[in-house]
Chain A
Amino acid sequence: MPENEVLRVEGLRVYYHTQAGPVKAVDGVSFALQPGERFGLVGESGSGKSTIALSLLRLIKPPGRIEDGRVALAGIDLLELDDEAMRRTRLAKISLVAQGAMNSLNPVKRIREQIALGLRDHGAALHDRAFDRFLTELLEKVGLGRNVADMYPHELSGGMKQRVCIAIAISLQPQVIVADEPTSALDVVVQWQVIDTLRQVQAELGAAVIQIGHDMGLMAHSVDRIGVMYAGKLVEVARVRALFSRPLHPYTQLLIASLPSLEGKGDLQAIGGSPPSLLNPPAGCPFHPRCPYVMDRCKVVMPPLREIQPGHLAACHLYEAI
């Protein structure tokens, strides 16, 4: 494993076993993260992005199962660890700000106790004085006053609750923070505050962030590199500027073109067709039924994700000659 990688995911496959057959939610996904890097995973509902988030922390529950692959955190394959070792790794080395995390705070416990819980579970219990100091610093990092420590969740706004969740996620200084839709259900002004907070703590900590979401606009402003998911597969990976200025995969192109802007008004460009069924995905490239450039080969062979331009990967037959 190269020195400059903190996380490497290889050939990850996660299936949900239903009565109708296996749903291939994540089907052979590979990517790597450098320390301190912010990586965005975008995709529509059902594209497998949240399943990746949960798999990285081994939180997939039946009927879901990690079928295959490697999740190497600083060289250690998390999928090989026993349950106790994995429990110690969570929060301490890789933490999760889950989707709707702000609603996962315990309504009858003060924020102080909820932060202490994680520390205690990891054997990092501090004495009262030291804990007070730690708490003040931690809350300050996420832009909250120390008075928040003695409040209950219902006394906080959505944005403040989400910042508490970020505080918990960074309390043990992990190397990787996985943030699954960290701002969904927040107002646009608050959204900016939360992303700004996440960005600051991540930079201070030097932690890598995997930010998962569906809002391309938000991604454009909050990550360094983006991976685009479609039907359980990564179809394009590129640095943000390259992805927005020269998207390669037709899905990415159409997705970006369909975003409403404040430029010219007029008919919005729509992507035809419907998202694929994961139970019964189309053969070949999963995007082929909606793709304007579809060729015969696309209906049979899934193109591999490969480097088309330096640092710019795409899974599309259009670039086979390159």
Chain B
Amino acid sequence: MTALLEAQHVSKVFGAGLVQKTETVALQDFSFTISGETPSVTAIVGESGSGKTTLVRLLLGLTAPTTGEVLYRGKDLRQLSSQERRSYLGDVQAIFQDPFEVFNPFYKVDHVLESPIRNFGLAKSKQARRALMVEALSAVGLQATETLGRFPHQLSGGQRQRIMVARALLLRPRLIIADEPVSMVDASLRATILNSLLKLNREFGISLIYITHDLTTAYQISEDIIVLYRGAMAEAGNIQLVVRQPEHPYTRLLVGSIPLPDPDEPWQGERALGQPATDLQPAGDSYCAFHRRCPYAMPICVEEAPPLFRTAPHRVSACYLYREAPTVASDHIDEIFGSARREQTATIPIAESDRVMG
């Protein structure tokens, strides 16, 4: 069975053009599969420069990988026929960060819902079209009477973003790629949008890739997580394991830097990690990207980039601290995902030592 969407050893290198002489590796040897059979929710978390936006663009076919390939039902995105391209667009939908920019201010909001219905011939009559729109809107908790016939500026950011979710739903895709869907939406409305995304996952069996910089919302809605650092996987696996008991020093730093809405919780920031170890100098091109900030850096970290060590059945860490564990080839990474579906993992306690380190 070929997977719905698959990234195979994808790398993306920018630069080395006329103006900029140095190359920037935005994403390095990234492999990941969405089977499309069991609905999954995977968070891809990283800071700016981690390569998450590049990954979205690659998965949507908006940019081509430098090496490796992105496959839709076994076929490279760049080689899809127009027929296959339509089928891809029907199966894979995206929701973007800015709910203000995706609307044309001169059109009523009906327009963004009508276009996919028309383009994909989903409805034969005006009534059927309206029925589809009303149904999609109600699935995301919006009432047609409060939204249809209005202009974008008459709606709040939260309402607009939910309309984008409704639009994605119209095509009944197998996968929705949501790129920071709530980062520009007010706190009081975030929960509503995330809940509507989760509902699509549960009720319509749509898989989600949730791209974000925010570990807390990722934790709330996702089953699996991939933590990206400078274009490479730092840690991945079951989200409860990774977030509550982070292994990779970078993940520990990230978790320790979250200001939790409780003044009694410690907010460690950099203190969560401590001082970087030594001035290790990489010998060649292959090294751990985190070594300069890492208090545990060892000579081996600058000799070769760490592989993925499988420290538990459902998690991997790209860190030599765990070099006792067996390694996993990057294209076999999918073996560690999906644990939340297969077995109900009990709630894992937060490792105190990790939040209050140093």
Contact = CB atoms under 8 A, between A and B. Distances in A.
List the 3 shortest-distance A-B pairs measured between CB atoms, nearest first: A192-B269, A268-B191, A270-B191
Contacts, number: 126
Given A244-B262, A258-B187, A270-B188, 14 more contacts: A45-B186, A188-B47, A188-B258, A214-B187, A216-B187, A241-B263, A258-B191, A261-B260, A261-B262, A262-B216, A262-B219, A264-B347, A268-B194, A274-B156
Contact of B186 (A214, A218, A266): A214
B259 interface: yes
Interface in A252-279: 254-256, 258-262, 264-272, 274-275
B213 interface: yes
B48 A187 contact: yes
Contacts of B187: 44, 214-216, 255, 258-259
B225 to A, nearest CB: 12
B264 to A, nearest CB: 7
Given A187-B48, A191-B257, A258 B198 contact: no
B264 A188 contact: no
A267 B219 CA distance: 11
A213 to B, nearest CB: 10
Range class of the A interface residue count: 35 or more
Interface of B is mostly: helix
B32 to A, nearest CB: 23
A271 B257 contact: no
Contacts of A258: 187-188, 190-191
A257 B263 CA distance: 15
A189 interface: yes
B261 A271 contact: no
Interface centre among B217, B260, B268, B350 (most CB of A within 10 A): B260
Interface centre among B240, B258, B347 (most CB of A within 10 A): B258
Interface of A: 44-45, 158, 187-189, 191-193, 196, 214-218, 220-222, 240-241, 244, 254-256, 258-262, 264-272, 274-275
A260 B254 contact: no
B270 interface: yes
Contacts of B261: 216-217, 220, 244, 256, 259, 261
